[in-house]
Amino acid sequence: MARLSSPDSSQDDICEVFTDTICSVCHRRLLVSEIAYGQGEGIMPKTGEFINIVCCSDCYQGEGSPVQLWKGDGIACTPKRMDHELQLEAAAAKACAAEAKAQTLAEEKAEAASRAIAAEEKAKALEETGKVLDKERDEANSRAFAEQEKSEVLRAENAALLEELQRFRQMAAPSAGLGSAP
């Protein structure tokens, strides 16, 4: 019963502005619709709570069971007021559950967002790795090409040297081949 909590409870804003209504005869808390007539403002001696003092319609009409006066341990409510408090309590519990659900949804949303960011970062890293591998492959290809060119040059040089050697052999052939048969 949020409205019945002590008036110095800072967690309940309603208490700070809400002035409760209590019957001066039966000392029950009641609804505005149950007031027979008002008597004025007052203060609860134990809690210092400001209250509206009234006479309830039950006491005014002398109806119902004999009322029990407040002995100082809590304050009773009329049945209508009790219904009202229970409805308030149920509504508060419902709102609390809705808030908890909204909180859970917000947390799930944040988690999904961070998962998406992580996936995006991973994809970016993979893309970077792919670029590095492409670059390495291109470099290896161009190195292989350079090696091939170099070996072709060497082959050409080799062929030229062989040709020159052949020429030297031919030049040397007449004197060297004097004794040999044609």
By the 10 Å C-beta count (0-12 exposed, 13-18 middle, 19+ buried), 31 is classed as middle
Q: 71-110: which residues touch Zn ion (CB under 5 A)?
A: none
Phi, psi of 22 (to 5 degrees): -130, 135
CB of 38 to Zn ion, least distance (A): 13
Pairing mode of beta strands 50-56, 20-23: parallel
* 56 touching Zn ion, by CB under 5 A: yes
CB of 108 to Zn ion, least distance (A): 52
According to CB under 5 A, which one of 2, 4, 25, 36 is a site residue for Zn ion?
25
According to CB under 5 A, which one of 51, 59, 81, 84 is a site residue for Zn ion?
59
Instruction: With CB under 5 A as the rule, give the number of residues binding Zn ion.
Output: 5
If DSSP codes are grouped into helix, strand and coil, which group holds residue 68? coil
* 26 touching Zn ion, by CB under 5 A: yes
CB of 73 to Zn ion, least distance (A): 18
Q: Which amino acid does the sequence have at 21?
A: T
Phi, psi of 174 (to 5 degrees): -55, -45
Which stretches of the chain bind Zn ion, using CB under 5 A? Answer: 23, 25-26, 56, 59
